Amino acid sequence: MKAQHKCAVVVGTELPAGLAANAAGVLSVTLGHRVEGLVGADVEDADGVTHAGIIHVPLPILTASRAEIAAIVRAAAEDDELFFVAFSALAQSCRTYEEYTAKMAATATADLAGVGVALHGPRKRVDRLVGSLPLLR
């Protein structure tokens, strides 16, 4: 992974705390799975106990309105240097992956209400989209 890359997760200001945490978790897992080299190697402590590698760059969890999230997703989709993962209210409402895939197959893109997005790419490009957003509190 390039040194000047950055990650960020944005969740909807409208979400209650539990759903915001869920959205951030789902987006982070997907980001870690899809971006090669994002998670560092396992490490050993002073006692020789091995601990699983964790993300080795900061990962701010930010908040934005649904309209702002939609604008971020649109801008990220137009930027070939950014990788993004969008998360919808539809996805968050499903109890199984099978339910999710069936509902997605029957729903137009324009009808998906975004509740979160994760970004990875060059620091300046990520900052341009999310640099002014507040941290999740």
Instruction: Give the 3-state DSSP-derived string for the chain, with helices as H, strands as E and coil as C.
Output: CCCCEEEEEEEECCCCHHHHHHHHHHHHHHHHHHCCCCECCCEECCCCCEECCCECCCCCEEEECHHHHHHHHHHHHCCCCCEEEEEEHHHHHCCCHHHHHHHHHCCCHHHCCEEEEEEEEEHHHHHHHHCCCCECC
Q: Tell me the residue range of the domain where 119 lies.
A: 5-40+53-130
**Which of 20, 134, 115, 120 lies closest to 76 in space, CA to CA?**
120
The CATH number for 13's domain is: 3.40.1490.10
In a domain, 45, yes or no: no
CB 4 within 8 A of CB 122: yes
Q: Which pTM does this prediction carry?
A: 0.92
- Residue 58: the pLDDT is 87
Across the chain, mean pLDDT equals 95
CB 20 within 8 A of CB 4: no
Confidence of residue 2 (pLDDT cuts 50, 70, 90): low
In a domain, 90, yes or no: yes
In a domain, 135, yes or no: no
pLDDT in tens, 60-110: 999 999 999 999 999 999 999 999 999 999 999 999 999 999 999 999 999
In a domain, 80, yes or no: yes
- Residue 137: the pLDDT is 92
Task: Give the total number of structural domains in the chain.
Answer: 1
Is pLDDT of 50 > 90?
yes
In a domain, 16, yes or no: yes
Is pLDDT of 1 > 60?
no
In a domain, 46, yes or no: no
Is pLDDT of 3 > 90?
no
In a domain, 136, yes or no: no
In a domain, 48, yes or no: no
- In percent, how much of the chain has pLDDT > 90? 94
